[in-house]
Chain A
């Protein structure tokens, strides 16, 4: 079972909000690359690129593997992201519906209590 939380989805969208990170994803879509290759390509310091890759990695969009002194980056499990979006759409509907249902049963509860009081 793969567990998705809204926090994880938020992480995905935060990761995608940055143009450099989107560029890195496109680059990795063409082929895997080391962090220093990515830093060169995007005219960035190694430290700066490490940060971007870290954000993408945390969001599950990129995986990295260190062999010797080189950290290689690849695209993460994109197919699962589609699945997450699909189920998140459903969760939003049911959350909204059930919040409205909470209000209805709260009103019923209050009415019952008031009726009980007026009978007693």
Chain B
């Protein structure tokens, strides 16, 4: 294993069968980046970006060790989907670790913040209980891949079948 893709700023790496790691540098000190991850009113401004087809309906976060969170996505309350879990560890300006409990085989997500010359190096690791859980993991609220990938998949499946 160990596939990696990067555009210079955001690097995404499948570090092992069960582990996905995303790294990114932010041009701001850790205290500000940490605020944006730990205060619900800031978090909800970016976790579901405008390109997201499904809006964030509600966002409750009690960011402390042992606390919980609940995010609801959807166009209205009747057609919504909740994501929830608890914070296993919150160390201000260093680390946030949470569970993803909405599905059967949810990941444990660890976000670490390191300050380098006034900037923040952020590392987000998702550790899944099995390879299959990561393979099939839900990618945010988006359809897993844009249409062109679906088309590529289809073509590759055709080619694979004819080998």
Q: In the complex the two chains form, is A75's CB within 8 Å of B159's CB?
A: yes
Number of contacting residues on A, CB 8 A? 46
Tell yes or no: A112 within 8 A of B by CB.
Answer: yes
- The listed residue (B26, B144, B151, B160) touching A101 by CB distance below 8 A is B26
Which residues of the other chain, A, contact B151 by a CB distance below 8 angstroms? Answer: 16
- The listed residue (B9, B14, B50) touching A98 by CB distance below 8 A is B9
Number of contacting residues on B, CB 8 A? 49
Tell yes or no: A42 within 8 A of B by CB.
Answer: no
Tell yes or no: A117 within 8 A of B by CB.
Answer: no
Stretch at the interface among A44-52, A63-71, A83-91: A83-91
Chain B contact residues: helix, strand, loop or mixed: mixed
Which residues of the other chain, A, contact B81 by a CB distance below 8 angstroms? Answer: none
Bitwise, B122-163 to A at CB < 8 A (1) or not (0) is: 001000000000010001101011101101110110111011
Which residues of the other chain, A, contact B24 by a CB distance below 8 angstroms? Answer: 94, 98
Which residues of the other chain, A, contact B4 by a CB distance below 8 angstroms? Answer: 1-4, 87
Q: In the complex the two chains form, is A6's CB within 8 Å of B5's CB?
A: yes
Tell yes or no: B57 within 8 A of A by CB.
Answer: no
Given the interface pairs A97-B49, A104-B46, the reply to whether A85 lies near B22 with Cβ below 8 Å is no
Which residue on chain B has the smallest CB distance to residue A99?
B49
Tell yes or no: A114 within 8 A of B by CB.
Answer: no
Tell yes or no: B71 within 8 A of A by CB.
Answer: no
Q: In the complex the two chains form, is A4's CB within 8 Å of B36's CB?
A: no
Bitwise, A80-118 to B at CB < 8 A (1) or not (0) is: 111111111111111111111111111011001000000
Which residues of the other chain, B, contact A93 by a CB distance below 8 angstroms? Answer: 139-140, 142
Tell yes or no: A25 within 8 A of B by CB.
Answer: yes
Q: In the complex the two chains form, is A96's CB within 8 Å of B27's CB?
A: no
Given the interface pairs A26-B159, A96-B51, the reply to whether A4 lies near B153 with Cβ below 8 Å is no
B interface residues with partner A (beta carbon < 8 Å): 2-7, 9-10, 12-14, 20, 22, 24, 26-28, 32-33, 35-36, 42, 45-47, 49-52, 124, 135, 139-140, 142, 144-146, 148-149, 151-153, 155-156, 158-160, 162-163
